[in-house]
Amino acid sequence: MPVQKAVVLASIGLHARPAAVFVKAVTGTGLPVTIRKSGMEGVDARSLLEVMTADFDYGCEVELSITDSAADTPSGLRTAQQALRMLAELLESQGAR
């Protein structure tokens, strides 16, 4: 299963606009991305409601993942890894303004 760690750097965490920007980017990948933080089950990163209610605060380390079945070919695995890197970079750039 492709996995990528990132830190949420939006000053308000993944709420309101930062969450909407993130979810839109996830949806744009067309992949079933899950986001989780330590001590909790992963949530569907394509769902704004799930992302916002999971309470990913500023500075929180998260783990982004995609199921093996969505990346079961070499090209699918590369695509999944690239998508996760892009999403991690987005989370870590939202604090830069």
- Tell me which of 2, 3, 4, 15 is the catalytic residue: 15
Contact 63, 35 (CB under 8 A): yes
Q: Specify whether 95 is catalytic.
A: no
**CA–CA separation, 83 and 68 (whole Å):** 14
**CA–CA separation, 60 and 54 (whole Å):** 12
Active-site residue list: 15
